[in-house]
Amino acid sequence: MKKSKEEIESRILSLTKSRGAGKSVSPSEVARDLFSNVWEEHLDEVRGMAGELQAKGKIRIIQQGKPINIDRAKGPIRLSAVDDDQDREE
């Protein structure tokens, strides 16, 4: 069940946008949506694409309610749409 980088990018962007401003999704939600019962095998791909999207300024990555650069994140993270009124990363 291989997905292209573009499919993963598109799903992250659509889920964060549909969730709305100030709301977030977890990378596991994205992985489950794309990969169904083998989602855990693809979680690193989703997190990797989230990092690329963050670097492009397309999404925010949040940990414990605060923006964080994915390179410094340890443990669970959340993904949200970029809100111009908030910082994009720490």
Q: Which residue is associated with the tokens 């300024």?
A: 57
Amino acid 84: pLDDT: 56
Domain containing residue 9: 5-81
CATH number of the domain enclosing 42: 1.10.10.10
Domain count, the chain: 1
3-state secondary structure of 60: strand
Q: What is the pLDDT along the chain (90 residues), one digit of tens a residue?
A: 789 999 999 999 999 999 988 899 999 999 999 999 999 999 999 999 999 999 999 999 999 999 999 999 999 999 999 975 554 444
Q: Tell me which residue of 34, 78, 85 sits closest to 60, measured CA to CA.
A: 78
Domain annotation covers residue 89: no
Phi-psi region of 37 (alpha: psi -120 to 50; beta: other; left: phi over 0): alpha
